[in-house]
Amino acid sequence: MTALLPFYFVYNKKKLFAWKGGRDMLVFTEENIRNIHTVSIDTTLVQAQKTLDELHEPVLFVKNKEKLLGYVRAHDVAIETEPDMDAEPLTLLHANIIPIHFACHVYCDVAVSDVFKLLGEEIVIVKNHHDEVCGYLQREDILIELLRQDNHNIDLFRTILASIPMGIFVVDKQGDIINHNDAGLRMIRCEGQKLPSRRATDIFGAEQISYVLSNGKAILNQLHITQEMGILADYSPILSVDHEVKGVVIVVQDLPMVEDMVMELDYVKNLNKDLKAILSTIYDEILVVSHKGELIRFSDNNTLHARAGNDLGTGSLIGKNVLEMEDQGTFNPSVTRLVLERKRKVSIIQDMENGRKMLAVGNPIFDEDGNIERIVIASRDITETTRLKSELREMKKLSRQYKEELESLKSRDTLNRSVVYCSPKIDRIIREIEKIARFSSTVLLTGESGVGKEVFAKAIHQLGSRANEPFLKINCGAIPEHLLESELFGYEKGAFTGADPKGKVGYFQKADKGVLFLDEIGEMPLSLQVKILRVLQEREVIPVGSTQPIPIDVQIVAATNKNLEKLVEERKFREDLFYRLNVIPIHIPPLRERPEDIPVLAYSFLQRLNEAHGRDIQLSPDALNLLEVYSWPGNVRELQNIIERAVVTTEDEIIAGEHVNQFLQWKRAAVKVRPIITSLIPLQEALDDVEEQLIILAMERYKTTTMAARALGISQSSVSRKYQKIIQKQAGLRA
């Protein structure tokens, strides 16, 4: 093979008209340089096809404004064009628009080695020294020109053909093979000596060759399989300047190579199917976005159309810019924009235009230079999840409320077993205790002896936050003064003669975190009142014989049956301590002021005694009436004692009124009030008025004529007769 000399492209002004190689020059006419026919990137496929048909050009260049972007091959447009795609612009053929930087271009003074590389491309863009595009050459242009040259250039032409990796066969109008390269011979399994004796129609498709020679149009991807060979052939016409068909160029690819390509293509297709299957089975919606924000791919289960309000085909969203969709209010904010700004993984909750909420997670994919190449977005509709979460939150809130109410009912049930009542006065006190029990304020309980102040102190403990902590009681009036201090504050070992050698912990320390009930606080000596005041102020105690204070957290509940305000005036109780104790004052009314509680208390005490002694003793109505009219100077404690005494002493299963009456101190309970006379009236009239008032008063209090007669000291029949007259008299006055 003859060695090649360097050759150069020769320009005449702005036109390439020849190339020069060593001694010889291959002359091109200016017509060899094809004019560039361009269309806008927004041109529709149908318009592009029409332009190609009118110009008889194999390629059509695409520009955006004045910038040349690339070119589209005629057969690509023909393949992509469908009847329902009249409105599709060339923009959507981005995969088939070959960019200019992929096409070859040449300048003046190009070495032959570079031209060999360029000949592997379909198009050679011709530029002048001002970098202006003058035109373009096809691979066939150079081959045809070489065919016109003398034999000195045959070696050069064959060398060029040999440099092409695909098989090339040049066929004249008569159907004879006039040139070829070695790659083509290998693909058709033929030796070079035998080829001249064979016509092209003997090896390749006669029908295809005839069609190309007759119509001047290319036929691509023709499969030929015989016993000797298996190839894929493209048939392209060789056209003269006046578009006359001069021959055919057959480009051949070996079938094994094609099979490898097909297998690779099938592998890619299967991989794509697997990817789509995976994406469609994932619960999340997957979107793949370019670094410019353009949508490249999304999973089949994606609801982006519904969210965007788009009723076009699925392909209509490909190429859409999600950043623009954010500006249009389709969703907000855009995870793509945040990923591009932060250059890291981003998780956000998007508010959609249709009112739904989406959890979007954007993951950036970086190239080798560290720039964002793709963004993979996983989206999940959390509208229902958010609603369920809100409902769960409300259910938890409701559950806590029910739990608190249940705890309150349990506390009330425990309380009802210790505090028995049905009167409105005690009910108000219990409600007040429920309010103050949530705090640790000091409470002062006042009331007569025997009203049950200790029971209410325990109720404060049971209903409060310290219910699981200790409740301790100390009677300040029952312990001698010299021992009360050590009982309250404790003492160190050896603090005084006779002290426990190990020391002792006082009530304040034992009741830490709990409640300390100081009963009969009015009996506390003045000397100890100062120390109690310091404990309430400083929340710490100092044991006897020690100087080290010990912090404590104790709620103080004090009780007294005395008038502390009067004791303060008499200087028997410290005023400052009184105000420290009187933070939450609660007065327990005596039993005579709440007669509604007498029956329930009596039955409660009777039930406990029956359970304790295994009996079933009941109260008769007369006995219960006596208990209700009694004034109970000893309050609840006296009622409990009377019931126990009646149960122990009775021999019957029913406690009669006469049996109970012998235990009641009526003389002490009776209080005589002398009537006040303000004017003179006849004696009999005065007696009648007093008798009437006494009978009405007795009936209002005792309800029955029997009890009223017993209280008035007259017979039951007299009370009944006189009471009926009084009722008739009042009815006559109303009439």
| Per-residue pLDDT tens digits for 236-271 | 998 876 778 888 999 988 766 656 666 677 777 777
* Cβ atoms 148, 142 nearer than 8 A: no
pLDDT tens-digit series, residues 428-484: 998 898 888 878 889 999 999 989 898 999 888 888 888 889 999 998 888 887 788
Average pLDDT over residues 399-414: 71
pLDDT at res. 17:
47
Say if residue 615's pLDDT is above 80. Answer: yes
Q: Which residue has the tokens 């373009």?
A: 136
Average pLDDT over residues 147-166: 60
Q: Which residue has the tokens 């910038």?
A: 67
Residue 337 burial class via C-beta count within 10 angstroms: exposed 0-12, middle 13-18, buried 19 and up: middle
Listed range (283-287, 502-506, 508-512) with the worst mean pLDDT? 283-287
User: Does 165-260 match 592-669 in CATH topology?
Assistant: no
* Cβ atoms 519, 475 nearer than 8 A: yes
Say if residue 523's pLDDT is above 60. Answer: yes
Average pLDDT over residues 644-661: 87
* Cβ atoms 673, 487 nearer than 8 A: no
The proportion of the chain whose per-residue pLDDT surpasses 70, expressed as a percent, equals 75
Averaged pLDDT of the chain:
77
pLDDT at res. 81:
44
Average pLDDT over residues 718-730: 84
* Cβ atoms 248, 237 nearer than 8 A: yes
* Cβ atoms 279, 299 nearer than 8 A: yes
Q: What angle do CA 362, 365, 367 make, to 5 degrees?
A: 160
Could you please state the CATH topology (level 3) that the domain comprising 165-260 is classified under: Beta-Lactamase (3.30.450)
pLDDT tens-digit series, residues 318-376: 777 878 777 776 767 778 888 888 888 888 887 776 777 778 888 888 888 888 888 88
Q: CB under 8 Å to 209, separation ≥6 — which residues?
A: 171, 175, 200, 201, 235, 248, 250
pLDDT at res. 430:
87
* Cβ atoms 657, 622 nearer than 8 A: yes
What distance, in Å, lies between the first and last C-alpha atoms of the chain? 151
DSSP 8-state class, residue 521:
G
Cis previous bond, 333, omega within 30: yes
* CA 261 – CA 162 distance, rounded (Å): 22
Q: Which residue has the higher pLDDT, 362 or 155?
A: 362
Other CB atoms within 10 A of residue 218 CB: 19
Average pLDDT over residues 5-34: 48
Say if residue 420's pLDDT is above 90. Answer: no
Residue ranges with strand state E in 589-693: 618-619, 654-655
**What pLDDT band is residue 286 in, cutting at 50, 70 and 90?**
confident
pLDDT at res. 22:
40
pLDDT at res. 498:
63
DSSP 8-state class, residue 504:
E
* CA 91 – CA 101 distance, rounded (Å): 18
Q: Which residue has the higher pLDDT, 137 or 554?
A: 554
Say if residue 3's pLDDT is above 50. Answer: no
* CA 133 – CA 380 distance, rounded (Å): 51
* Cβ atoms 288, 380 nearer than 8 A: no
Q: CATH classification of 419-586 is 3.40.1190.20, yes or no? A: no
Q: Which of 611, 637, 607 is closest to 619 using CA atoms?
A: 607
Q: Are strands 24-27 and 15-21 parallel, antiparallel or unpaired?
A: antiparallel
Q: What is the pTM of this model?
A: 0.43
Three-state DSSP class for residue 270: helix
DSSP 8-state class, residue 199:
B
DSSP 8-state class, residue 419:
S
Q: Which residue has the tokens 């060339």?
A: 90
Q: Which residue has the higher pLDDT, 447 or 293?
A: 447
Phi/psi for 298 (5° steps) reads -150, 160
Q: Which residue has the higher pLDDT, 27 or 217?
A: 217
What is the CATH architecture assignment of 7-144? Roll (3.10)
Structure tokens of 387? 């609603």
| Reduced DSSP (H G I as helix, E B as strand, rest coil) percent helix, strand, coil of the chain, to 5 | 45, 25, 30
* CA 327 – CA 329 distance, rounded (Å): 5
DSSP assignment of 9-77: EEEETTEEEEEEETTEEEE--GGGSBPPPEEETT-BHHHHHHHHHHHT-SEEEEEETTEEEEEEEHHHH
pLDDT tens-digit series, residues 36-65: 888 888 888 788 888 888 877 778 888 887
pLDDT at res. 587:
93
* Type of residue numbered 722: K
Q: CB under 8 Å to 552, separation ≥6 — which residues?
A: 508, 509, 511, 512, 535, 539, 540, 541
**What pLDDT band is residue 156 in, cutting at 50, 70 and 90?**
low
pLDDT tens-digit series, residues 82-108: 545 556 777 656 557 777 755 556 554
pLDDT at res. 5:
35
The secondary structure element, H or E, covering residue 136 is strand 133-138
Residue ranges with strand state E in 226-284: 230-239, 245-254
pLDDT at res. 559:
93
pLDDT tens-digit series, residues 179-203: 888 888 888 877 766 666 568 888 8
Could you please state the CATH topology (level 3) that the domain comprising 282-381 is classified under: Beta-Lactamase (3.30.450)
**What pLDDT band is residue 586 in, cutting at 50, 70 and 90?**
very high
Q: CB under 8 Å to 110, separation ≥6 — which residues?
A: 8, 9
Other CB atoms within 10 A of residue 699 CB: 20
Q: Which residue has the higher pLDDT, 34 or 30?
A: 34
3-state secondary structure 296-362: EEECCCCCHHHHHCCCCCHHHHCCCEHHHHHHCCCEECCHHHHHHHHCCCEEEEEEECCCCEEEEEE
Q: Which of 229, 220, 218, 164 is closest to 195 using CA atoms?
A: 229
Q: Which of 69, 24, 22, 79 is closest to 42 using CA atoms?
A: 69
pLDDT at res. 7:
42
Average pLDDT over residues 306-310: 48
Q: Given 1.10.10.10, 3.40.50.300, 3.40.220.10, 1.10.8.60, which CATH number is that of 592-669?
A: 1.10.8.60
Structure tokens of 532? 């109690």
Q: Which residue has the tokens 């006469």?
A: 658
Q: Which residue has the tokens 């006596």?
A: 626
DSSP assignment of 534-592: HHHHHSEE--BT----EE---EEEEEESS-HHHHHHTTSS-HHHHHHHTTEEEE---GG
* CA 221 – CA 165 distance, rounded (Å): 17
pLDDT at res. 446:
93
Q: Which of 317, 312, 256, 261 is closest to 285 using CA atoms?
A: 317
The dihedral over CA atoms of 184, 186, 192, 195, expressed in degrees to the nearest 10, equals -60
Q: What angle do CA 71, 75, 80 make, to 5 degrees?
A: 90
pLDDT at res. 34:
75
Q: Which residue has the tokens 């998007």?
A: 350
211 conformational bin, left if phi > 0, alpha if psi -120 to 50, beta if neither: alpha
Structure tokens of 674? 């002398």
pLDDT at res. 313:
39
pLDDT at res. 583:
92
pLDDT at res. 641:
92
* Cβ atoms 135, 105 nearer than 8 A: no
Tell me the domain boundaries of the chain.
7-144, 165-260, 282-381, 419-586, 592-669, 683-734
* Cβ atoms 354, 307 nearer than 8 A: yes
